[in-house]
Structure 1
Amino acid sequence: MRSVGVEEELLLVDPDTGEPRAVSGAVLAFADDDTRLEKELQREQVETGTRPRTSMGDLAAEVLRWRREAAHRARQAGAEVAALATSPLPVEPSVSTGERYQRLRDEFRMTADEQLTCGCHVHVSVDSDEEGVAVLDRIRPWLAPLLALSANSPFWQGRDSGHESYRTQVWGRWPSAGPVEVFGSPERYHHEVRTLLETGTLLDEGMIYFDARLSRSYPTVEIRVADVCLDRADTVLLAALVRGLVETASRAWQAGEPPAPVSARLLRLAAWRAARSGLTEELVHPLTWTPAPAGTVVRSLVDHVRTALTDAGDLELVKDGLAELLHRGNGAARQRARHTRTGSLRDVVTDAVSRTTA
């Protein structure tokens, strides 16, 4: 059974106004050695990370544990945490202390200054770089539907962006972000990384911001396309689908099935449509590359990984979780519904705070 780990970036917000607060240093000062909390680019956010788990039930408990731990530490610093991929309220972020973060700010200026976005990164274990690159090559068409499921950032600087995931638009400003072409081998993957670094544009390998990549720190592939999910149940659904994709891709590679010959340009277009439409409109279907209802596309994703889900014991969890998600909507839908009812972006944040640790 492949292990799965999840990293979630959370906003730190004022409990009264809902505005982001630059208190990550104080939050982390209260953390002990066992606390899996880390700072991020901006002082208005903090990152949690689960341990690797093979059971989705155990993973769900871990996600909740570290969300609650982050909330507890934030309250000690006079703040709350909210699983929002962008701040609904206007904010001028402040870059975290540290030489690397300051170099990022000096080099990338407004891109770094405005980059207050929160994603969800899913790590799935692989046996080797060869298997990992084979997986990366074969999961490419299915990453956009994962973004649609997780979309949780409709508001930007106090306005409705018109997107379900505006985080994707902001994140895409980094020079190495987004989909990539088929690599074919670990040698070509590492050559591509070295070539990007040798341009002198990126600070280091940590800036390889591909939608999916080999992890630098763990024997995993790391899928980075998703917004942080408002509901932890959606985080677990995302993790189960990602593990299913990795296992399905590995089996296809072992069976000698080539990756789909789809270009990075087409993948970027499909991701743009997923970020724009979420689950509310049509997406680009990864099998036909034509428009299809979002529900049809995500059910095709489940069909694509059905055997792997069944073998892992995750099929019913995914079917139930997807049915619930399609019924109530993703985080972007909940944010917009809340704003429609109350007319208050502050209330959107307050609702998110309560949902984050529910």
Structure 2
Amino acid sequence: MEVLTMGVEEEFLLADRTTRAPADRGSEVIASAATVLGEQVQREFFNAQIETTSRPTACLADLREELVWLRAVVADAAKAEGCLPVASGTSVVPPERPLTVTDTERYRRMADRFASRFSAVDGLVCGCHIHVGSLDRERALALSRRMAPWLPVLQAVSTNSPFARRRDTGFDSWRSVEYASWPTVGPAPDLNETGYLAYVAELVRSGTLMDRRMLYWHARPSEHVPTLEIRVADSNADVGTVVLLAALVRALAMTLLADELAHRPVQRIPPRRLLLAHELAAWHGLSGYGIDPCTGLARPAVELVDRLVARARPALDVTGDTAQVLRQWQRIRAHGGGATRQRAEYRRNGRLTDVVDALAHLTAAA
């Protein structure tokens, strides 16, 4: 079984230290943090966001250590600019004025062409993207095909955005709902490399996308590194959840890649049922039901995570990550994930600013 590397991209919103509303200070925070992090800290679509990127590694402990370091550097840079980095899928406290789009040529073009796809008042969303590699495009597409039925389960583990517009949306991941307004967000079509290149070229030619970098499938071959990128997770303040997601994505990828090389049959869910599985994950997270990837039947979400862990167990044993994954999963199963923690914090005093403070503290104190 081939051991794959892992990498994580984390998007953070910047909250003003006084109001806890999004603060348009991304450029200043990045300029400061980049003196230490270089290109590992980057701009995002809105000026009130930043992104960090870890280096590829095969060691889970090294990944955790680097994520903690990246967050610490960003927190120091943000403090100097009067703001807090917050790992949440949506902004708990809405902006006091319309958000500004980051002033780059690419983002200006996106904002102009896709103005109807986002709101400058409440359209800020932050995700956590897991990369596994190294994989050429053909292998990445084959792996995407095999991972598709399991991605709603991973999404359920990561839900961390119940609040928007100063209210509880009723969803565990409102980010999933907001983000779906952008073109191509959703399950990837079943394509080989030739079909992929032709399909994406037509999306660009027709104006649906500006370029291949705007492909927002839940699982996509990366255009800048030789990886498969999984894009279903909310940004999570709890670094343990991020590490768990990376470990599960890597182990599942290793297991399913072995199936691909052995020419074992591909497990498929009909497209409508797969969309329903993602909708259930966004709505209920771990507290409700999901769609079993093996049978297509409804099962409690926590049972589906158990099945995912069991499916990935051979690879977890190979990489030595089994004990850590089991500990982290049992902790989340017992105490709830990010959306549960946000709601619990709000119930204490009924203040959304307290939710932001708790998220900011957990983000920086990882």
Normalised by the shorter chain, which TM-score bucket? over 0.9
1:345 corresponds to 2:352:
yes
Equivalent residue number for residue 164 of structure 1? 172
Residue 40 (str. 1) matches residue 60 (str. 2)? no
State the 1:267 CA deviation: 1.4
**Counterpart among 244, 249, 260 of residue 242 in structure 1:** 249
Query: Distance between the aligned counterparts of 2:78 and 2:101, measured in 1?
Result: 18
* CA spacing shift, 1:249–1:126, aligned 2, 3 Å: farther
Q: Is contact 2:267-2:294 (8 Å) kept?
A: no
**Counterpart code for 2:109:** R
Q: Give the distance between the partners of 1:146 and 1:7, measured in 2 at CA.
A: 16
Rounded Cα–Cα distance in structure 2 between residues aligned with 1:298 and 1:127: 26
Q: Which runs of 5+ in 1 are unaligned?
A: none
Equivalent residues in 2 for 1:1-358 (5 A)? 1-30=3-32, 31-32=34-35, 34-35=37-38, 36-91=40-95, 92-114=98-120, 115-183=123-191, 185-358=192-365
Structure 1 residue 103, shift from structure 2 partner: 1.3
CA distance in 1, matches of 2:79, 2:338: 23
Q: How many residues align?
A: 357
TM-score (norm 1): 0.97
Task: List per-residue Cα deviations over 1:57-110 (Å, max 9, x = no partner).
Answer: 000001111111111111111111111110111223221111111111111114
- Code of the residue aligned with 1:354 in structure 2: it is H
The Cα shift of 1:190 comes to 1.9
Q: Distance in 2 between matches of 1:303 and 1:178?
A: 26
In 2 relative to 1, CA 139–146 (structure 1 residues): closer, same or farther, beyond 3 Å?
same
> Per the alignment, in what secondary structure is the counterpart of residue 47 of structure 1?
strand
1:21 maps to a residue whose letter is A
- 1:136 to partner: Cα distance: 0.7
Compared with structure 1, are the counterparts of its residues 181 and 258 closer, same or farther at alpha carbon in structure 2 (3 Å cutoff)?
farther
1:52 is paired with a residue whose SS is: coil
> Whole-Å Cα distance in 2 between the matches of residues 145 and 48 of structure 1?
25
2:244 is matched by which residue type in structure 1?
L
Matches of 1:263 and 1:103, distance apart in 2 = 36
Shift of 1:111: 2.1
Between the aligned partners of 2:29 and 2:63, the Cα distance in structure 1 is 24
- Tell me, in whole angstroms, the C-alpha distance in 2 between the residues paired with 1:240 and 1:62: 15
Which whole-Å CA distance do the structure 1 matches of 2:273 and 2:157 have between them?
19
Hey, what's the Cα distance between the residues in 1 that align with 2:263 and 2:134? 18
| Cα distance in 2 between the residues matched to 1:350 and 1:261 | 42
Q: Which runs of 4+ in 1 moved over 6 A?
A: none
C-alpha contact (below 8 Å) 1:248/1:305 kept by paired residues: yes
5+ long unaligned stretches in structure 2 = none
2:229 alignment partner, SS class: strand
TM-score by length of 2: 0.95
Contact 1:134 1:249 (8 Å CA) reproduced: no
* C-alpha contact (below 8 Å) 1:71/1:80 kept by paired residues: yes
How far the C-alpha of 1:33 sits from its partner, in A, is: 6.3
Whether contact under 8 Å (2:36, 2:73) holds in the other structure is no
- CA-to-partner distance for each residue in 1:196-219, whole Å, 9 max, x for gaps? 112112111111000010011111
**1:282, 1:112 → 2: CA distance?**
29
Per-residue deviation, residues 178-201 of structure 1 (Å, max 9, x unmatched):
102322x22222222212112112
Q: Partners of 1:357 and 1:287 in 2: how far apart? A: 39
- 1:195 and 1:270 mapped to 2: Cα distance? 28
Which secondary structure state, in structure 2, belongs to the residue aligned with residue 113 of structure 1? coil
